[in-house]
Structure 1
Amino acid sequence: MKRIFLIVLDSFGIGFSSDAYKFNDVGANTFAHIVEKCFLGQADINRKGALYIPNLIKLGITHAARAASKKKLLGYNNNLNVIGSYGFASEISSGKDTTSGHWEMVGVPVLDNWCYFTNKNNSFPKDILNYIICSSKLTGCLGNCHASGTDIISDLGEEHIRTKKPIIYTSSDSVLQIACHEVFFGLSNLYTLCKNIRIFLDKNKYKVARVIARPFIGHKKSDFQRTGNRRDFSMKPFSTTVMQKLIDEKKGQVIAIGKVSDIYSGVGISKHIKSTGLNELCHNTIEEIKKSKNNTMVFTNLVDFDSNWGHRRDVAGYAKGLEFFDKKLSQIIDLVQANDILILTADHGCDPTWTGTDHTRENVPILMYSPNLEKKFLGHRKTFADIGQTIAKYFLLSNMSYGESMF
């Protein structure tokens, strides 16, 4: 029986990449800076002391991080026994966003630029704004700028409730985000609006990676909060992913947990398990691993590391999340059978000690474990696509166009 369990710790970078200067990210290091803050007692909110992640260490995270950045990790040494193979990868895609990272790791790097809305204010072109307003018979839009999602909801939420105008905003990523109240605007109305915008953008050759529905609840500025009903309306991958090959060539199954299905616009996905929150994501991953059969890939994105702690520059929250996941990881490791492979990686960095709130251009870890897999240093992988090529080799699929197998 052959099974792959691919878990993406969203934003868990391990040191700035060689091209980080293009992104003003030289010096960023998500993992090392969290370790440092914990060691110095500067991340003791709802947790305490040095970062405690014995299972990630057992899989080789400190070895991979040291190789990727040559940076000393305070409080750790590399004399511990490692049970898996470990290495790190750099990204060849043009951006440092979720879509680029995820597409590249399954064999479809994004080598051309996405469409970005670079103006900090009045960010969106008039034809997009006019379509949003006219197609849904709205009286206008709010926002139209670069913003933090939580901040803009706090600032404009009351006006949105009063006027029913959607709040639209973007970031340094290729995204068009729309925040609306679940009750006063309606969740289904928000989804319909985002779906129609996706169709408009594709029809008019706007290469925007994602249209994101950001529903929220509450009645006034002091109690607005986003809900777990976020949905991403993504472009379809430009070419065939390794998941689609698994389905087409082996009649296999791809189980997508969390936002994975949205990232690939449902392409190459057999079953989607909606999950929100780190606890639920881990629980559903464990349950799907238990149920999975031959030629199955269980694919999970742990989004909280990015959305809840990375973007919000919450070091203590990120550390506590890593420690929580590490406890669950012991259960996952125990479920890995002789011919299975567990792969842990990330899609980009989001250093919670860095300036601003954007992603950071970083190398990502590749931790691989199987009872029958040779334990070795996987080296510096020149593209995330080596993950996809390795999966293709493992399942005896036709070769991907990018990447080299790590076997």
Structure 2
Amino acid sequence: MKRVFLIVIDSLGIGSSPDAYKFNDVGANTFGHIVEKCFLGKVNIGRKGALYIPNLVKLGIMHALQKSTKKNLLGCHNNSHIIGSYGFASEISSGKDTTSGHWEIAGVPVLDDWFYFSQKNNSFPENFLKKIINVSKLTGFIGNCHASGTDIINNLGEEHIKTNKPIIYTSSDSVLQIACHEVFFGLSNLYALCKKVRLFLDQEKYKVARVIARPFIGINKSNFQRTGNRRDFSIKPFSTTVMQKLINEKMGQVIGIGKVSDIYSGVGISKYIKATGLDELCNITIDEIKKSDTNTIIFTNLVDFDSNWGHRRDISGYARGLEFFDNKLSQIIDLVKDNDLLILTADHGCDPTWKGTDHTRENIPILIYSPNLEKKFLGHRKTFSDIGQTIAKYFLLSPMQYGESML
């Protein structure tokens, strides 16, 4: 029986990548800075002391961090017995966003630039907005700027409720985000609007990675909060992912947990399981591993690390999340059988100690565990696509266009 359990710890970068200077991210180190802050006793909200992640450590994450940074960092102890293979990878895709990272992991790097709404204010051109308003039969939008999702809801949520005008905003990523109230505007209406905008962008040849529905609830800015009903309406992958190959060549199954299906626009996903919150994501992953059969990929994205703690620069929250996940990881490791592959990785960085609120251009860890797999250093991988190529070779699929197998 052959199965792959692919878990993306969203945004867990392990040190700035060789091209980080292009993104003003030289020195960013999501995991390393969290380890240091914990070791120094500066991250004690809801937890205390040095970061306690024994399962990630025995899979080799501290070794991967030291190899990536070429430094001995405070709190980075690597004297545990290693049970898996470890390495790190740099990205060849042009962006440091969720879509680019995930697609490259699946063997489809994004080598051309996405379309970005780069102006901080009046981010969406007037003519562009007029066309969307006409297509969607709206009276208008509010917002139209770069913004933090929580801040813009607090600032414009009451106006949105009064006017029924959706809040539209963006960031340094290739995204168009629309926030609406679940009750006053309606969740189904928000989804329908985002689908129309996605269709418009595709028809007009705007290469925007994602249209994101950001529903929220509450009566006023004192109690507005985003809900777990976020949905991403992504552009479709430009070529065949390793998941599609498994389905097409081996009649295999790909179980997408969390926002995985949205990231690939449903392409190459046999079964989509909605889940929100780290606890639910971990529990569903464990349940699906127990039920899964041969020629199956269980693909989980742990979004909270990015959306709840990375972007919000919440070091304590990120550390608590890592310790919570590490506890669940012991159950996952116990379920890995002789011919299975467990692969832990990330899609980019989002250093909670870094300036601003954007992603950071970083190397990512690659931790691979199987009881029968040789324990070794996997080296510095030149592209995330080595993960996709490894999965393709493991399932005896036709080779991917990018990447080299680590097996």
Aligned residues of 2:234 and 2:265 also touching (Cα < 8 A): yes
CA shift digits 1:12-57 (9 cap, x unpaired): 0000001000000000000110011111111100111100000000
Question: Identity over the aligned pairs, expressed in percent?
Answer: 81
CA distance in 2, matches of 1:245, 1:147: 38
* Letter aligned with residue 31 of structure 1: F
Match of 1:285 in 2: 285
Question: CA shift at 1:76, angstroms?
Answer: 3.4
Is the counterpart of residue 300 in structure 1 residue 306 in structure 2? no
Structure 2 unaligned blocks of 5 or more: none
2:234 and 2:262 in contact (8 A); partners too:
yes
* Count of residue correspondences: 407
Deviations 1:262-292 (A, max 9, x none): 0000000000000000000000000000000
Residue 136 of structure 1 deviates from its aligned partner by 2.6
Gaps of 5+ in 1: none
Match of 1:99 in 2: 99
1:71 maps to a residue whose letter is K
Q: After superposition, where does 1:2-401 map in structure 2 within 5 Å?
A: 2-401=2-401
Distance 2:303 2:80 in 1: 29
**1:139 CA drift (Å):** 1.6
Moved more, 74-83 or 211-220: 74-83
Deviation for aligned residue 1:74: 1.7
Distance 1:234 1:57 in 2: 34
**Cα offset for 1:134?**
1.9
Note the alpha carbon deviations across 1:341-364, whole angstroms, 9 max, x for none. Answer: 000000000000000000000000
Is contact 2:35-2:76 (8 Å) kept?
A: no
- Specify the code of the residue in structure 1 equivalent to 2:124: F
User: Which residue type is aligned with residue 162 of structure 1?
Assistant: K
Q: Distance in 2 between matches of 1:12 and 1:316?
A: 14
Q: Which stretch of the first structure deviates more once superposed, 75-84 or 219-228?
A: 75-84
What TM-score, normalized to structure 1? Answer: 0.99
Structure 2 length-normalised TM? 0.99
Using the TM superposition, give the Cα deviation of residue 5 of structure 1 relative to its aligned residue in structure 2, in angstroms. 0.2
Write the distance in 2 (CA, Å) between the matches of 1:258 and 1:127: 35
Give the CA RMSD over aligned residues. Answer: 0.6
Q: Distance in 2 between matches of 1:35 and 1:371?
A: 28
Q: Distance in 1 between matches of 2:148 and 2:293?
A: 41
* Helix, strand or coil at the partner of 1:222: coil
Whether the aligned pair in 2 keeps the contact of 1:32 and 1:71 (CA below 8 Å) is no
CA–CA distance in 1 between the matches of 2:139 and 2:338?
Answer: 60
Q: Amino acid of the residue matched to residue 5 of structure 2?
A: F
Q: 2: CA distance between counterparts of 1:269 and 1:126?
A: 37
| Matched letter for residue 42 of structure 1 | K
CA contact (8 A) 2:154 2:221 kept: yes
Q: Deviations over 1:50-69 (max 9, x none)?
A: 00000000100000000001
Q: Contact (CA 8 Å) 1:350, 1:360: kept in 2 or not?
A: yes
Partners of 1:149 and 1:245 in 2: CA distance: 36
CA distance in 2, matches of 1:139, 1:231: 23
- SS of residue in 2 equivalent to 1:87: strand
Contact 2:181–2:217 under 8 Å retained in 1: yes
> Any idea what the Cα deviations from partners look like across 1:225-267, whole Å, max 9, x if unmatched?
0000000000000000000000000000000000000000000
User: Matched residue of 2:232: which SS?
Assistant: strand
| 3-state SS of paired residue (1:221) | coil
The answer to whether the 8 A contact 1:132-1:193 is kept is: no
User: Aligned AA for 1:10?
Assistant: D
CA displacement 1:75-117 (0-9 Å, x = unmatched)? 3332221000000000000000000000000100000000000
Q: Is the 8 A contact 1:259 1:301 kept in 2?
A: yes
